[in-house]
């Protein structure tokens, strides 16, 4: 198996696993995962969409199509229970699936050797983490799985049983 094929599988599976949980709680997307708050499903999906654009910006040097979402969804922002502060879950889901489709399109154009290319706009302090195409793509594989746990906890807080995957 080529490395780019392994990455493609990881991108597809991490998105599908996370979206399955988000889709199951679409009637309560502002459910916080703990009594003390945390990242609710709507924020998680918006954050993943925004972050995907940011990582592609770092990797390729092109603008993040969701740059105007920074104040709501960038790392370090605080989720709120105010639905008016966010686009609808349907809009956020579409933005994430579009961002992931763009990533997969880019990956189709890459060879295994291309994975060693340096990222075009990597901040110096992140060079060891996302300084290459491979580094950026690795984060895009694992990032949804990191936040998937928060959505799983929000589902439990909403009284739902675990999903069998």
pLDDT grade, residue 128 (50/70/90)?
very high
* Alpha-carbon gap, residue 45 to 39, rounded angstroms: 10
Range 3-157 classified under CATH 3.40.50.1360: no
Confidence of residue 163 (pLDDT cuts 50, 70, 90): confident
Percent of the chain residues past pLDDT 70, beyond the cut: 99
What is the rounded CA–CA span in Å between residue 116 and residue 43?
32
Q: State residue 165's pLDDT score.
A: 65
pLDDT value, residue 164: 76
* Mean per-residue pLDDT, 37-57: 97
**How much of the chain exceeds pLDDT 90, in percent?**
96
The confidence score (pLDDT) of residue 67 equals: 98
Residues 6 or more apart in contact with residue 138 via CB below 8 angstroms? 7
Q: DSSP assignment, residue 34?
A: B
Mean pLDDT of 59-72: 97
Q: What is the pLDDT of residues 75-126, one digit of tens each?
A: 999 999 999 999 999 999 999 999 999 999 999 999 999 999 999 999 999 9
Distances (CA, A) of 162 to 28, 116, 149, 157, 159: 16, 39, 11, 11, 10
Return the SS3 of 37. strand
For residue 115, which of 136, 99, 86, 101 has the smallest C-alpha distance?
Answer: 136
* Spatial contact of 120 and 58, defined as CB atoms under 8 Å apart: yes
Q: Which residue has the higher pLDDT, 3 or 162?
A: 3
Instruction: Check whether 132 has a pLDDT greater than 90.
Output: yes
- DSSP code for 88: -
Q: What is the mean pLDDT of the chain?
A: 97
């Amino acid at each position: 198996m080529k490395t780019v094929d392994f990455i493609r599988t990881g991108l597809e599976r991490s998105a599908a696993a996370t979206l399955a949980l988000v889709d199951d709680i679409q009637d309560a997307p502002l459910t916080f995962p703990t009594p003390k708050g945390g990242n609710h499903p709507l924020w998680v999906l918006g954050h993943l969409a925004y972050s995907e654009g940011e990582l592609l910006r770092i990797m390729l040097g092109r603008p993040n199509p969701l740059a105007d979402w920074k104040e709501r969804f960038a790392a370090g922002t605080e989720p709120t229970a105010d639905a008016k502060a966010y686009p609808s879950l349907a809009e956020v889901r579409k933005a994430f699936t579009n961002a992931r489709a763009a990533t997969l399109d880019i990956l189709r154009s890459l060879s295994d050797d291309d994975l060693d290319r340096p990222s075009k706009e990597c901040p110096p302090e992140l060079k060891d983490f996302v300084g290459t195409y491979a580094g950026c793509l690795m984060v895009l594989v694992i990032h949804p799985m990191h936040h998937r746990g928060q959505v799983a906890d929000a589902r439990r807080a909403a009284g739902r049983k675990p999903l069998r995957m």
